Structure 1
């Protein structure tokens, strides 16, 4: 998908007029965080430096990278995000990073070590989980998705094939969970999850989540 600059300008003009009509200036200045491609600089400077060329979108082999469409967050319209409805980032499995290589600016900078790169955090909504174990199969990093082991509580299952069928039924009270400090936020588990019960939290909001859980 090639980004149409004319379309972006039209969207921006329409959005500006809309805000002028409803007096929604506070919404324009609000803080918004997104699941960005690898190597992305911070959101508060991203929209200023990104030239909205769409090169990263065209380069993404999974079509996971897309551009923010017309919305209230005018300043970020046309900037790239990872949309889990389209796909997830495969960089940790195949070391892709084609979006970074295609970026003509430094908003997607060179990633020196993928092990240190985090896009966000996946959170499984247990009440909606059906124990299909698809998240296990698509997570590129072993040990991020775990399943409780009732026989040895301090040694949860790290591989789907090792989990006894009798404890991974749909109605089982035992559910898979994410190791938060290991999750890199690629979005693959959320994209492939059949019941869509996995939320993705942008890296900028992860600390807020941790703080809320500790209170």
Structure 2
């Protein structure tokens, strides 16, 4: 078309490009902070111990990978799409690969930005990562009535107990004793996805303050298993009458090779 006399075409194109660039930038910024680019409350996203609340964490984390390189068990792995595009390459804990060593706090010590707080070991143990959940359709005890004690044996805080349910003793997670360390998920003998998984449910993530005090207020207790508990902790079945002791002991005939009762 013909421009009117005195009309500066070059200026109009430049201004148009400016507005297009601003619009594209605004759209990109909006997209990066909305679904599906950001997943709020992802069901399997477990952040490292001492991680700030998610919004603060993503603002601070520069994806340097220092925590992942330093992790002695390699349980810290980079996110792909688990936390959306905005969380790409940020660290997450993968319990199926390995549990979180309860005697280690190196990830917080090496974080250069404070996205992971540098916590003393006792504080770190109280920084609840989440809560383990048993998939009863995959659990050997629940689904197949096969004697298996591994999750109970691996838990450092005795958060797995066996109770009578439908005529048999079956494993349950004691949520207020579980800090989400993930050793149960790592060692579960079920092939493929574990029959017990750690979810971020009830995780504790603080910008500041004491995790120990926060855990106390929530009536959580993460005490090391003294090793004196028995496999069959609940002696009272649902009917209200405990079976003869020899009946409970008869399960020893079905113990797989390599298993030991406590």
Provide the C-alpha distance between the structure 1 equivalents of 2:72 and 2:107, rounded to a whole number of angstroms: 9
Output the TM-score relative to the length of structure 1: 0.66
Q: Deviations over 1:171-194 (max 9, x none)?
A: x84211110011000111011111
Provide the C-alpha distance between the structure 2 equivalents of 1:139 and 1:177, rounded to a whole number of angstroms: 12
SS at match of 1:181: helix
Matched with 2:200 is 202
Matched with 2:130 is 120
8 A contact 1:68–1:81 mirrored in 2: yes
8 A contact 1:129–1:175 mirrored in 2: no
Quote the offset at 1:30 in angstroms. 4.1
Quote the offset at 1:51 in angstroms. 0.6
Pick from 31, 53, 56: which aligns with 1:45?
56
- How many residue pairs get aligned? The number is 162
SS at match of 1:148: strand
SS at match of 2:177: coil
Pick from 121, 135, 149: which aligns with 1:133?
149
Q: Deviations over 1:66-94 (max 9, x none)?
A: 11025671000010000123211012xxx
Q: 1:184 aligned to 2:179? A: yes
Quote the offset at 1:121 in angstroms. 0.4
8 A contact 1:27–1:72 mirrored in 2: no
Provide the C-alpha distance between the structure 1 equivalents of 2:81 and 2:36, rounded to a whole number of angstroms: 14
Matched with 1:54 is 65
Gaps of 5+ in 1: 1-19, 151-171, 207-215
1:158-169 equivalence runs, <5 A: none
Quote the offset at 1:200 in angstroms. 1.5
| 1:105–1:123 Cα change, 3 Å | same
Gaps of 5+ in 2: 1-27, 142-147, 205-262
Quote the offset at 1:147 in angstroms. 0.9
Q: 1:31 aligned to 2:40? A: yes
| 1:181–1:48 Cα change, 3 Å | same
Which protein, 1 or 2, shows the higher relative CO under an 8 Å CA cutoff with sep ≥ 6? 1
Matched with 2:236 is none
Provide the C-alpha distance between the structure 1 equivalents of 2:106 and 2:39, rounded to a whole number of angstroms: 31
Query: After TM superposition, where is structure 1 displaced by more than 4 Å over at least 4 residues in a row?
Result: 203-206
Higher alpha-carbon Rg: 2
8 A contact 1:60–1:98 mirrored in 2: yes
8 A contact 2:50–2:124 mirrored in 1: no
8 A contact 1:146–1:178 mirrored in 2: yes
Matched with 1:89 is 100
Provide the C-alpha distance between the structure 2 equivalents of 1:184 and 1:71, rounded to a whole number of angstroms: 21
SS at match of 1:128: coil
Pick from 141, 144, 148: which aligns with 2:159?
144
Matched with 1:101 is 109
